[in-house]
Amino acid sequence: MAAYGAATSLKNTIQRILQSSRISLVSHSPQIVFSAHGAATFLKNAMFFCILLASPSPQIVFSDDLGVAAYGAATSLKNTIHRILQSFRISLFSHSPQILQPAYDQMDRLQKVLLKLDETSCSKIRTRVNAADEGIKEAVWEFEDLLESHVLHQILPQLESRSDGERDNSSFSVDLQSLQHHVDCFVEKMKMMEEEYTNEMENMAEEEGEPISSRIDFGGINSKMVGLSHEFQRARDYLLQENNDYSLIGMAGVGKTTLAKHIFEDPSIQSHFEFRAWVRVGRKCENNELLRCVLAQVDPNAYRMLAQGDDDDDDEELVGLLKEKLQGKKCLIVLDDIWEVEAAIRLTTCLLENYTVGRTRFLLTSRITILVPEGGYERVRLLNEEESKELLGEKVFGEEGFPRQLEELGEKIAWKCEGLPLMIVTVAELLSKADKTPEYWTEVLFKQHSSVFVDAYNQISKANERTEGVRRRHVIA
């Protein structure tokens, strides 16, 4: 994890331990190594070390161009090294700065290589690249932990020997000479892993096309929408009243597709638009596939006749059939889960240039920011605490929600999902299959690395092969 985030987390944990009215630090206990005073002193010193590394420090800037794990880990290590080298509270022995510099430089080079993935097509299969990325992340984290522990072990004895007043203003001596071998090994390991990553990236296979049936099957609506009622009304009313398109933008799992489904199935939308079509774009969708998907929904008979004939029908024939069916008609086309702005431009242009100009409306969903000229958009937000609680309760127990004995625990479990609907729904599915008792739910809530949350994260990770984070600002011109 990022050093600054880890420091903040540890500071908050220590503060809760020291100030909690529910925790009594006893002086003599065979199970506890430190006395109450010793434990408190150790924790205070550890907190001071966190403050020392975290502040004063340069503002941490996370790249918004790439969200892969290795890139974030490299950023974290660079920031940690920078804080150690630049902190006025740390006095480094001679040659110590030169020992760390190669690691910093290697992270800088690594990030430039990682950024090249953003230049590749999203239609490429990235499974092996993602695995290489994960390996780099783990190696960088391991070295960062080693570095921070090395500094900590030298600073803590100096902290313990000084009074509170001395701690506030004095600096602390740190010798990094014994890290020289570890740094050299780390840099060599990173060079090898960087080469492996580059090789995997340059040899990514092209993903095959997806069956039409799976692209147009959006699954329907199996429950009411929790939260986002204002966002729903804005998007729906815009499509009904304005002569332009609308985009739903947001991170993976925030509920873009669910919101689009409810708009697509809304009675006023169904009565306003004479035809509707739903197409899941995904990583790869050619013009021919898009035209087939739309035709299959607005004119099933023509599509069946076409499917029985030559499989190599061209775009011109498809456009002719669609133009004949949709000319002068109002049509809503949902393009769900667009991965590249270029795909949005190509697909919308393919349709609008050929027929129904001024009558077809598009509703787009994407993790990237796609702004249609003069069109509307909604940046889909996370759920608030009350909405999170309601969604979790409904998914586990139905419309009646939590029973009284589980309501408080359910609210706290929902809060741990951080407002992400996909996480809430996944956790709810796991809770539904387990014991619905206060004892089990208490374990889920308080146990570190609870199997429910670990399994939920794993399920979501497997469902999202694409590493989240290509968040550039794009405008369709």
DSSP string, 28-49: --TT-SS-HHHHHHHHHHHHHH
Dist CA 293 CA 251 (whole Å): 26
Q: Is the pLDDT of residue 29 over 60?
A: no
Least confident of 192-196, 250-254, 465-469: 465-469
Asked if 97 contacts 174 with a C-beta cutoff of 8 angstroms, the reply is no
Contacts of 189 (CB under 8 A, 6+ apart): 139
> Can you give the C-alpha Rg of the chain in angstroms?
28
Tokens 């889909």, located at residue? 380
Instruction: Please state the rounded mean pLDDT for residues 214-221.
Output: 65
Residue 127 has a pLDDT of 80
Condensed to tens digits (0 to 9), the pLDDT of residues 258-280 reads 999 999 999 999 999 999 999 98
Contacts of 37 (CB under 8 A, 6+ apart): 27
Residue 23 has a pLDDT of 55
- Provide DSSP, 241-287: HSSS-EEEE--TTSSHHHHHHHHHH-HHHHHH-SEEEEEEEET---H
Confidence of residue 24 (pLDDT cuts 50, 70, 90): low
Phi and psi dihedrals of 31, rounded to 5? -85, -10
Helix pair angle (404-416, 385-397), 10° resolution:
120
Of these ranges, 65-79, 124-138, 446-460, the one predicted with the greatest mean pLDDT is 124-138
| Selection from 225, 217, 273, 270 nearest residue 248 by Cα | 225
Least confident of 134-143, 162-171, 382-391, 443-452: 162-171
Contacts of 402-406 spanning 24+ positions with Cβ under 8 A:
403/436, 405/438, 406/436, 406/438, 406/441
Looking at residue 295, its amino acid is: L
Instruction: Please state the rounded mean pLDDT for residues 237-254.
Output: 87
Confidence of residue 144 (pLDDT cuts 50, 70, 90): very high
Least confident of 50-54, 119-123, 391-395, 457-461: 50-54
282's enclosing H/E stretch is strand 275-282
Condensed to tens digits (0 to 9), the pLDDT of residues 83-125 reads 888 887 787 887 878 889 999 999 999 999 988 887 776 667 7
Greater model confidence, 211 or 299: 299
Condensed to tens digits (0 to 9), the pLDDT of residues 419-451 reads 999 999 999 999 999 999 999 999 998 886 788
Condensed to tens digits (0 to 9), the pLDDT of residues 112-121 reads 998 888 777 6
Helix pair angle (421-432, 404-416), 10° resolution:
140
Dist CA 88 CA 262 (whole Å): 56
SS3 176: coil
Least confident of 193-197, 279-283, 414-418, 464-468: 464-468
Q: What percent of the chain has pLDDT over 90?
A: 31
Least confident of 117-121, 238-242, 352-356, 390-394: 352-356
Residue 375 has a pLDDT of 81
Asked if 227 contacts 383 with a C-beta cutoff of 8 angstroms, the reply is yes
Looking at residue 277, its amino acid is: A
Q: Is the dihedral of CA 398, 403, 407, 410 positive or negative?
A: negative
Instruction: Please state the rounded mean pLDDT for residues 219-230.
Output: 77
Instruction: Please state the rounded mean pLDDT for residues 344-358.
Output: 64
Q: Is the pLDDT of residue 369 over 60?
A: yes
Residue 210 has a pLDDT of 58
Tokens standing for residue 391: 């969604």
Q: Is the pLDDT of residue 17 over 80?
A: no
Q: Is the pLDDT of residue 413 over 90?
A: yes
Q: Is the dihedral of CA 18, 7, 414, 435 positive or negative?
A: negative
Least confident of 32-36, 198-202, 270-274, 361-365: 32-36
Greater model confidence, 83 or 411: 411
Q: Is the pLDDT of residue 49 over 60?
A: no
Confidence of residue 1 (pLDDT cuts 50, 70, 90): very low
Greater model confidence, 392 or 177: 392
Greater model confidence, 456 or 104: 104
248's enclosing H/E stretch is strand 246-249
Residue 301 has a pLDDT of 84
Confidence of residue 31 (pLDDT cuts 50, 70, 90): very low
Residue 136 has a pLDDT of 93
